[in-house]
Amino acid sequence: MDVAYNPFSLEGKTILVTGASSGIGKATAIECSRMGAKVVITGRNEERLNETFNSLEGDGHIQILADLSNEDDIQHLVNEIPVLNGCVNNAGYNIMSVIQFIKKDNLDHIMNVNLTAPIMLTHLLVKSKKIAKDSSIVFTSSISARGRNSVGNSMYSATKGGLSSFMKNAALELAAKRIRCNAVLPGMVETPLKEGKSNITEEQWEINRQLYPLKRFGKPEEIAYGIIYLLSDASAWVTGTELVIDGGMTR
Amino acid sequence: MKSLDEFVELFAEQFDETDASEITATTVFHDLEEWSSLIGLSVIAMVDEEFDVALKGDDVKNSVTVEDLYNNVKSKL
């Protein structure tokens, strides 16, 4: 047996992870570094980004502070980074609101962060030739993009539905450049994004956990492992897919 | 600050099937047939819009009557 055999290795790859200061992004950055990648991490909060940076294994990693809701910051990020072999468009957040109380400001902002930013980042990476041939772009979507909806979640669902649709079209167009595009669709994961929903009581969360066939929410690293598969050469013939990771919720 | 009566009226507006006359300051709102997590979220959003107060799910859970909730909102102003 060859102990070094690992088709999921990210050795020799440079991978950008957005939203790397917490949750799925943080776990993804750390796991990518453990799989041998040189990781470029970005986020808005300097302190938390630094915390992720210090948790990365190996050398040669880069951190760049950026607010991806700001177009200039995206351009600056693209200017600063080396040529990538992988990009994880992970930054995202949620504002819960029932439909009759939706506010235009909130809608604009969530659309900007969850949908416009990954589209513009993909655009600029391709335009600036900062993404190499045979590379992989992964989008963190959600099972809410697949009609697994819950009350108060309509704006978030709309952004993730849009993101999944964009990914599929990008997979078609960028195949000509041999750039693959895929998405992971997590169910509810124990992350700060969940903790931000203080209008949900712990009892309601527990009822929700029990709706999952595996009787719990996901862990950030369980999503990261799916992202690693899509970044690695193990998925070299996979593009335009949505990888559902949800404890059996959508079946 | 809106009065208790005004709060009761705004609270009642979040319901579709329950007539506003069935909801008063002393109503034990969790016992209302139409009460649901969706109406709970609507009440939280209404309080955010009308009072600029961010209620938590637990604030709604721990309030028994509509007046309790009003007092909770008042205490956060």
Segment A108-126, tens digit of pLDDT? 999 999 999 999 999 999 9
Helix (H), strand (E) at residue A131: strand A131-140
Q: What is the pLDDT of residue B43?
A: 95
Residue A226 belongs to a domain with what CATH number? Answer: 3.40.50.720
Residues of B with CB under 8 A from a CB of A: 37-38, 40-42, 44-46, 48-49, 54-58, 60-61
Domain extent listing, chain B = 4-75
Task: Look at residue A113 and tell me if it is in a domain.
Answer: yes
Chain centre distance of CA A160: 11
Residue A24 has pLDDT above 70, yes or no: yes
Looking at the domain that runs over B4-75, which CATH code has it been given? 1.10.1200.10
Task: Check residue A17 and give its pLDDT.
Answer: 98
Query: Are B56 and A199 inside 8 Å of each other by CB?
Result: yes
C-alpha–C-alpha distance, residues A2 and A135, integer Å = 26
Q: What is the dihedral of CA A66, A228, A245, A209, to 10 degrees?
A: -60
- State the catalytic residue, choosing from A5, A156, A212, A229: A156
User: What is the ipTM metric for this complex?
Assistant: 0.75
Residue A54's alpha-carbon distances to A11, A29, A70, A108, in angstroms, are 20, 11, 26, 33
Q: Are A130 and A118 in contact (CB under 8 A)?
A: no
The tally of domains found in chain A comes to 1
Banded model confidence at residue A188, pLDDT cuts 50, 70, 90:
very high
Are B44 and A199 a contacting pair at CB < 8 A?
Answer: yes
pLDDT digits (tens, 9 = 90+) for A151-171: 889 999 999 999 999 999 999
The answer to whether A156 is a known catalytic residue is yes
CA distance A152 to A141: 18
By the CB < 8 Å criterion, does A54 face chain B?
no
Instruction: Indicate whether A5 belongs to any domain.
Output: no
Which of A156, A201, A207 is most worth mutating to test chain B (most B CB atoms within 10 A of its CB)?
Answer: A201
Cα A121 versus chain centre, distance = 13
